[in-house]
Chain A
Amino acid sequence: GENVEQHPSTLSVQEGDSAVIKCTYSDSASNYFPWYKQELGKRPQLIIDIRSNVGEKKDQRIAVTLNKTAKHFSLHITETQPEDSAVYFCAANDYKLSFGAGTTVTVRA
């Protein structure tokens, strides 16, 4: 089955700086890579996703890059704000998502 590893487990950044989270996956057949944000006590919410036929996707301050050859993908958040503080999960596969262990992002004001 798919195995997704996520780094770092915690990330503290100064407001306005960028944050980068990296994930690797094992199954070369995986073709869908979503990122979810989960605030304490709330549901995971999709923030951005990318499919295997695209190398990069951007949505305002959030971008995701995918390297299928190396089997890794990354989330980039620019101009971080306090409301970006949350746990972020990467995932891979299509109907049966395999999640990373999560990254706790803290944005310092």
Chain B
Amino acid sequence: DTGVSQDPRHKITKRGQNVTFRCDPISEHNRLYWYRQTLGQGPEFLTYFQNEAQLEKSRLLSDRFSAERPKGSFSTLEIQRTEQGDSAMYLCASSSLGDGAKNIQYFGAGTRLSVL
């Protein structure tokens, strides 16, 4: 599968613990996005990278959240001191912005986080 891959698919943690998710975008896609999706809602934008630079962060991304894309390829999203309200599906998407590219976002299958 050469699409966007996310790991793990499911994560169960206790309140107060730290968790880290990984996203591997489609090869050579220079843009990478993180979204959060709760039950019965559409995805909500969290942050995005162009290459290794984090260009924008939503106000939804509290200081307990941090995202990195150190080499412009895979990205990690870390949540510190998890709270029950963090329980959601975390989706990653990637796109290619360049000559002739339409910047279409392709999504991964997501990481479902359950905070007990």
Residues of A in contact with B (beta carbons under 8 Å apart): 4, 6, 32, 34, 36, 42-46, 49, 89, 91, 94-102
Contact = CB atoms under 8 A, between A and B. Distances in A.
Nearest to B50: A95
Nearest to B6: A43
A46 B105 CA distance: 8
A99 B48 contact: no
A49 to B, nearest CB: 7
B100 interface: no
Nearest to B56: A96
Interface residues of B, number: 25
Interface of B: 3-4, 31, 33, 35, 40-45, 48, 56, 91, 95, 97, 102-110
B42 A96 contact: no
If over half of A's interface residues share one DSSP class (helix, strand or loop), that class is named, otherwise mixed; here it is strand
B30 to A, nearest CB: 12
B104 A34 contact: yes
Given A42-B109, A43-B109, A102-B40, A97 B104 contact: no
Contacts of B31: 95
Contacts of A95: 31, 33, 48, 95, 97, 103
Contacts of A49: 102, 104
B51 to A, nearest CB: 14
Contact of A44 (B43, B95, B97): B43
Given A96-B48, A97-B35, 9 more contacts: A32-B103, A43-B3, A95-B48, A96-B33, A97-B45, A98-B45, A100-B42, A101-B40, A101-B41
Nearest to B55: A95
A99 B46 CA distance: 12
A52 to B, nearest CB: 13
A6 B45 CA distance: 17
8 closest A-B pairs by beta carbon, nearest first, are: A99-B42, A43-B109, A43-B107, A44-B107, A89-B42, A96-B45, A99-B43, A102-B42
A95 B103 CA distance: 7
B43 A46 contact: no
